[in-house]
Chain A
Amino acid sequence: MSDPILQFEFPKIYSFPPFYTQQPNTTVLNQQLDSWVSIILHYCEYYRITSLSIEGIPKHSQLEVPLSSLSSIFINKTINRQVNSDFQKLIVKHLIHNKKAEFINPKKPELGVYIYWRSLVDWGDLLYQYVDDTGQKGTVLTIYELTKSEETTVPQDLHNLDETFLVKIIKDYLIKQGKAQLLIDENNEIGGVKIV
């Protein structure tokens, strides 16, 4: 698949040079952080990016597009501006504070964050609805066939979902709701999942 992907259209403030400098005025800074959060969420939703490095580089996208073509969202070569490391951390912290992001591994922040342009609950409901609609409740399914299978009719919203992200959706939401069970094999790895 080589669909021509239109470039994401950034809002005008993305071309505003001071946008890349942490503002000293607290009120303006909060406005600035909110704007960064909004841009990151819309950008990730547009390219269906579910995880981002701390430096703003996409880690995984559901689209069939080489991630190398998407550079860091914190760098704007057109106006020769970029967010420095400290401000990057502050923006990510603001994302997490607003519950729009979560560390992939809280003990290893350098691994990056999941981006919740769609909440875990909504992701989980999507997955549950798909399994229910296709009459597969109570059936053991592999993680692979839930996202990457070309044979079954995995809905576009779930297609190509990152496996670790999918496991997180199941663990953090569906299992806690009593709607799913994970099957662990003898190697202590996930062998499958059953939606109940």
Chain B
Amino acid sequence: MNHSNTTNTDRDAYLQLGKSLNEQHSNQLSTQLQVFQSALINFANDHGDEISSNLEFKNKFTQIVQSIGIDPLDLLLYTSQNDRNGGTSNSNSSSNSSSNYKRSNVVATNFGVALAVKIIEICQQTRDLNGGLISLKELISTLQNSCETEGISLVVSEKDIESSLNNLNTLGKGYEILIINGKKWLKFSSTENLSNDQLKIYELCEFMGGYVTYRLLRDNYGWDKVRCKTVIDEMIMNGFLWVDSQDNGEWQYWEPSWISN
């Protein structure tokens, strides 16, 4: 009976100690993360304008933020919310600093959201023309052109677009990045995944200056006539290819991104 009491007491003591150590460790980690998060928030505060306008800077900042498990947009949303609730993180700042903080933060947040909206708009406008597949190069070009007509000089990178698309996909599956010939395309069509044959059509279109023919497919890929017809007819039905019947004696099937390249 005496031995049993000693064992139980020891076990309880060890459990208590272990729990205490875990709590201590967890608290330390939590404190460190909070300190680091606060540092990032202050950093965003001090350099918000530069983060918005300097793409290289923005990319590096985003990497740091993501490496500790924070969504950079969540950080921006958090700071916006914090700012709205009284701005505890900058309560010691002067009013001028607070004003700068708000503007830079709003600019950064709105940039991502506005970019997502712009992407949706361009996709809707070009859907019937290209069947729901657009290269990121064309997307950026269209974005910049539409802004230039308004006297705005817009600087957007493919990384910016991909970041915006990540937020769009939380609304449901609809925007997907494909890689064709080493270049990135945005698929926003409701069509199922493109088949390998269809991707090969796009590859050959790029090499041939925008179009393919049955003969080109046979000569380059060794496809027979049935295979050519099946793929091409499906792509025409989905709106990915336009038909040209006026080349000498042979039909050409054109890929509409040629129009903006």
- Identify the A interface with B (CB < 8 A): 12-13, 16-21, 23-25, 27-28, 30-31, 80-82
Binds A, one of B20-28, B46-54, B193-201, B246-254: B246-254
Q: A16-B256, A18-B242 are in contact. Are A25 and B247 (CB under 8 A)?
A: no
Q: Contact between A31 and B128 (Cβ–Cβ < 8 Å)?
A: yes
**Of B129, B245, B246, the contact of A31 (CB 8 Å cutoff):** B129
Q: Contact between A18 and B243 (Cβ–Cβ < 8 Å)?
A: yes
Q: Contact between B246 and A20 (Cβ–Cβ < 8 Å)?
A: yes
Number of interface residues of B (CB under 8 A): 19
Q: Contact between A12 and B259 (Cβ–Cβ < 8 Å)?
A: yes
What residues of chain A lie closer than 8 Å to B260, measured between beta carbons?
A: 12
- Identify the B interface with A (CB < 8 A): 128-129, 131, 211, 236-237, 239, 242-247, 252, 254, 256, 258-260
- Most interface-central of A18, A19, A23, A81 (chain B CB within 10 A): A18
Q: Contact between B243 and A24 (Cβ–Cβ < 8 Å)?
A: yes
Residue of A nearest to B235 (CB): A25
Known: A17-B246, A28-B128. 17 other contacts (CB 8 A): A12-B259, A16-B256, A17-B244, A17-B252, A18-B244, A19-B242, A21-B242, A21-B244, A23-B242, A23-B243, A24-B236, A27-B128, A27-B239, A31-B128, A31-B129, A81-B246, A82-B246
Shortest Cβ gap from A81 to chain B (Å):
5
Residue of A nearest to B251 (CB): A21
Q: A12-B260, A13-B259 are in contact. Are A18 and B237 (CB under 8 A)?
A: no
What residues of chain A lie closer than 8 Å to B252, measured between beta carbons?
A: 17-18
Q: Contact between B244 and A25 (Cβ–Cβ < 8 Å)?
A: no
CA distance A23 to B260 in the complex (A): 19
Q: Contact between B254 and A25 (Cβ–Cβ < 8 Å)?
A: no
CA distance A179 to B243 in the complex (A): 51
Q: Contact between B242 and A30 (Cβ–Cβ < 8 Å)?
A: no
What residues of chain A lie closer than 8 Å to B245, measured between beta carbons?
A: 21
CA distance A160 to B242 in the complex (A): 41
